[in-house]
Amino acid sequence: MDFSMLNQIFQDNLAIILTVIVVLLVLLIILSIVMLVKLSKAKKRYNSLVNGATGESLEDIIADNIAQMNELVVKNNKIDADYAEMKSLFTKSIQKVAVHRFCAFADMGGDLSYAVALLDNQNNGVIFSSIFGRQDSCTYVKPIENGVSKYPLTQEENKVLLEAMSK
């Protein structure tokens, strides 16, 4: 093929070639404008994400969240330690109570004598008992370890001990 022939084809179709080039150029300009608009919207979304709603940067927001999370971990660990301490104290606190009022002497009216058992979760504690008479009143305290007293218990004291241990 020779250049003169190409030159002739080019000159004969110059108007068509220029029209096609202009149409392509217009399409490229329109496409560029559409892409610039989309890029502008994406840039705005990116800036709002990076800068946050309050103007803080995303990095600052993440750093603040990590700091808050670390504080919560420390608080949670303290709560766990406090809970464990309270749980151990609670097992040693009085949890089982039983009271029995009775008449110690047949010739006395009313149930003025009493026995009270105060026990923890392991059945350790004390029994208070008071015997009321005409002339005087005597109060006794007997220690209880694992549900047993090293001192002899009266029938009423045994009753409140068993009642308290059953709770």
Q: Which domain holds residue 118?
A: 96-165
Domain count, the chain: 1
- For residue 111, is it within any domain? yes
3-class state of residue 35 by DSSP: helix
pLDDT of residue 98: 97
pLDDT of residue 142: 97
Using the structure block, give the residue that is written with the tokens 């404008």. Answer: 33
92 CB neighbour count, 10 Å cutoff: 12
- For residue 158, is it within any domain? yes
128, 137 in Cβ contact below 8 A?
no
144, 119 in Cβ contact below 8 A?
yes
Sign of the four-CA dihedral 31, 35, 41, 42: positive
Tens digit of each residue's pLDDT, the chain (167 residues): 577 888 888 888 889 999 999 999 999 999 999 999 999 999 988 877 777 667 677 788 888 999 999 999 999 999 999 999 998 888 889 999 999 999 888 777 778 899 999 999 999 999 999 998 888 899 999 999 999 999 999 999 999 999 999 98
- For residue 116, is it within any domain? yes
- For residue 6, is it within any domain? no
